[in-house]
Amino acid sequence: MEATDPMELITNPGDGVHLSDALNDHLRSKLEPVERKHGERLTRIEAHFKDENANKGGRDIHCLLEAHPRGSDPIVAEALAEDAYTAAHQAAGKLERALSSHFGKQDRVRPH
């Protein structure tokens, strides 16, 4: 993947979650720091949304983000919130921290 190519983002809406263009754009914008910092080391990111308890309300939208580093096991971050936008925002922040930790450890073990 060239530096100018956008990172592949695969979004999987689950039961009870409508994947709108606005939600997809929001998710991509929240993952922009991840792409900028780690994009060349990732093959793709998969986003999975699910409504945990249907129409009962409350914090029930689950967002799971799965980043696929080249030559390594996936790194997962997830969040549960009242809406898909908040869940995506929270999960993206967790993913960025998890990838920074993962690649930081990797770089200390074997420098580039």
Q: What is the pLDDT of residues 40-97, one digit of tens each?
A: 999 999 999 999 877 676 668 999 999 999 888 999 999 999 999 999 999 999 999 9
Domain annotation covers residue 98: no
For residue 54, the domain's CATH number is 3.30.160.100
Among 82, 16, 7, which Cα is nearest to 49's? 16
Domain annotation covers residue 59: yes
Domain containing 28 equals 8-87
Q: Is 52 exposed, middle or buried (0-12, 13-18, 19+ CB in 10 A)?
A: middle
Mean pLDDT within 93-110: 83
Q: Indicate whether this model's pTM tops 0.75.
A: yes
Choose between 27 and 14: higher pLDDT: 27
The whole-angstrom separation of Cα 94 and Cα 81 is: 14
Domain annotation covers residue 108: no
Domain annotation covers residue 106: no
- CB contact at 8 A, 65 and 79: no
Domain count, the chain: 1
Domain annotation covers residue 110: no
Domain annotation covers residue 70: yes
